[in-house]
Amino acid sequence: MSEQKFNNISIPIDNIELFPSFRTSLKSRIFKVDDLLRRVNEKAYEPVMLAIGPYHHGKENLIMMKEHKSRYLQELLNRRNEPSGEIFLRKLRAKLKTLEERVRRCYAEDIKPNQDELVEMMLLDGCFIIELFRKFNMKELVIEDDPIFKMDRMIYILQRDLLLFENQLPFFILVELFDMTKLPDDEMDIVHMALSFISLPYSCLRTDLSSDNVDHLLDLVHQSLTPPLDMVSYENDPYYLRYKGQFIGCTIKLQREGVLFEKAGDNVSLFNIRFEDGVMKIPPLMVDVQTECLFRNLIAHEQYHQNLHEKYVTDYATLMDCLVDTEKDAEQLCNYKVLENRLASDEAMSDMFNKLCSSVTINPKSFCYSGIFKKVNDYCTSPSGKRAWRSYKGELWYHLRNPMTLLNLQISIMTLLFAVIQIIVPLCIKK
């Protein structure tokens, strides 16, 4: 990603005007994605099967899940063996009514449902999520003909839909309903049940999280992905990016400048990227059809969350956009085992990284990798003698990474050896 390209897709934070939703309520935690972010890939923010909360409630293509929500609520009541299911339901509704104003403040947009409608929606949505988590973690609770657990595809889609920025319930609703419907066999709390269901394919995830500090499920995932600063080596140089505005070249360009790439250890945070002695060490990332959706919604969460100083996912996506400019860059990082591509092609992966940060605000004052950018650029602009030698090594290494080039080199060497032997042997015989 060149400097010009970055300028085209970012919005300078010092000049940005606050979105209307921010002016409505600085305490809001659940927003609708603005048009600038949404228009790049609208489908990434839209639920496929499951509507949670008021923003997508009542959409025709999502009506089917209402039957499953009602069924899960009934199964929950049946399992509790309450003398009267209706009395217990009234207790749940009464508790939710006391939380109504708090719930409304969590949403930046005006919520149209009246009190009874909002309570019913929170009850169905919240109990469905809790039952889903319990069944996933306690297989004995799954009834034989449950269609959700009959098809892996449904679980996969529900995992996706539950992590959409607009498709969230306040986490305190889930905590209250979980505690009120707690089973004697519930060995896990709501936080660990949720993380077990989401099943993120990344290393070094945080599990020491308290439900008291979680806004919603997407926020829980974001917190689990971002370990404490003392566990991560961020080489932040706040003045470098702000005043010099220099980003780094793509993988192919850096290789030709002598920069080498290595896959970092498996038990390392996704964001813990280092540059030492001309080697950039990057934790592995598996890219599949859900990666873009997850990253886009995590980035939206960071863009709207006023109390997040470090925007880990945004900054990581920016760095990867720099490194992966074309499909050849994607191919090289796959060769290094830094990326594992499960998309249709290397071009599809490079296109994903190139668009992730479109219309995204990057804060140069707190950009996590500005120190790494400075080190890389200093390395690539070092004295000409060293640079020429590294460039030669980089070119050689770049070409030798290609299996066909290596094979051709081996054939050429063998051909040369045979030619030499054919010349030397007759001379030795004559003697």
The closest of 206, 222, 238, 219 to 371, measured between CA atoms, is 238
| 340 backbone dihedrals φ, ψ, rounded to 5° | -120, 115
Q: Give yes or no for residue 5 having a pLDDT over 50.
A: no
Q: Give yes or no for residue 195 having a pLDDT over 70.
A: yes
User: Do 347 and 26 form a contact (C-beta atoms < 8 A)?
Assistant: no
Q: Give yes or no for residue 12 having a pLDDT over 50.
A: no
CA 243, 244, 247, 248 torsion-angle sign = negative
Per-residue pLDDT reduced to its tens digit, 270-297? 999 999 999 999 999 999 999 999 999 9
What is the rounded CA–CA span in Å between residue 43 and residue 47? 8
Q: Give yes or no for residue 122 having a pLDDT over 70.
A: yes
The count of residues in the chain is 431
Q: Give yes or no for residue 16 having a pLDDT over 60.
A: no
Mean pLDDT, to the nearest integer, of 207-216?
Answer: 92
More confident residue, 206 or 427: 206
Q: Give yes or no for residue 267 having a pLDDT over 50.
A: yes
User: Is the backbone of residue 327 left (phi > 0), alpha (psi -120 to 50) or beta?
Assistant: alpha
List Cα–Cα distances, 20 to 16, 27, 270, 387, in angstroms: 12, 13, 33, 50
Percentage of residues in the chain with pLDDT exceeding 90? 64
Mean pLDDT, to the nearest integer, of 309-326?
Answer: 93
The pTM is what? 0.85
At residue 17, the pLDDT reads 40
Mean pLDDT, to the nearest integer, of 150-172?
Answer: 96
Mean pLDDT, to the nearest integer, of 49-68?
Answer: 95
Ranges 25-39, 169-183, 249-263, 344-358: which has the least confidence = 25-39
Ranges 157-166, 305-314, 393-402: which has the least confidence = 393-402
**63 by DSSP, 3-state: which?**
coil
**Most trustworthy range by pLDDT among 10-24, 183-197, 378-392:** 183-197
More confident residue, 409 or 32: 32
Per-residue pLDDT reduced to its tens digit, 164-175? 999 999 999 999
At residue 388, the pLDDT reads 46
For the chain, the helix, strand and coil percentages under 3-state DSSP, each to the nearest 5: 60, 5, 35
The closest of 189, 272, 206 to 234, measured between CA atoms, is 272
At residue 407, the pLDDT reads 65
Mean pLDDT, to the nearest integer, of 17-27?
Answer: 48
List Cα–Cα distances, 14 to 9, 132, 139, 365, in angstroms: 15, 43, 51, 10
At residue 365, the pLDDT reads 82
Mean pLDDT, the chain, integer: 85
Q: Give yes or no for residue 51 having a pLDDT over 80.
A: yes
Q: Give yes or no for residue 233 having a pLDDT over 80.
A: no
